[in-house]
Amino acid sequence: MADNPRLYGFRFKHSRSGVMPIPEVCRVASGYQGVDANAVNCDLRPGDPVAKVNDGTVAIVAGGSPMYGIVQSVIQYWDGTVLRKNDKVPGGSGVYGTVFSRETLVTIIPLADNIFEAVCDDASTATTYAAYRTLIHNNLDHRNSGNTSTTSLQPELDISSNGTGTAGWRIVDVPFYPHVDYSGLYVPLLVTGVEIQQAPYLAAGV
What's the pLDDT score for residue 19?
87
CA distance 37 to 70: 17
pLDDT bin (cut points 50, 70, 90) of residue 203 is: very low
Q: How many domains does the chain have?
A: 1
| Residue 56 Cα to chain centre, angstroms | 19
Q: Report yes or no on 31 lying in a domain.
A: yes
Structural domain boundaries enclosing 91: 21-110
The percentage of residues in the chain with a pLDDT greater than 70, rounded to a whole number, is: 96
**91-149: per-residue pLDDT in tens?**
999 999 999 999 999 999 999 999 999 999 999 999 999 999 999 999 999 999 999 99
What's the pLDDT score for residue 163?
83
SS3 100: helix
CA distance 183 to 137: 21
pLDDT bin (cut points 50, 70, 90) of residue 152 is: very high
What's the pLDDT score for residue 12?
97
Q: Report yes or no on 26 lying in a domain.
A: yes
Q: Report yes or no on 116 lying in a domain.
A: no
Q: Which of these, 118, 85, 94, lies nearest to 28 by C-alpha position? A: 94
Q: What is the value of pTM for the model shown?
A: 0.94
| 8 Å CB contact between 74 and 85 | yes
CA distance 117 to 191: 6
What's the pLDDT score for residue 198?
82
Q: Report yes or no on 190 lying in a domain.
A: no
Q: Report yes or no on 39 lying in a domain.
A: yes
Q: Report yes or no on 167 lying in a domain.
A: no
Q: Report yes or no on 193 lying in a domain.
A: no
Q: Report yes or no on 189 lying in a domain.
A: no
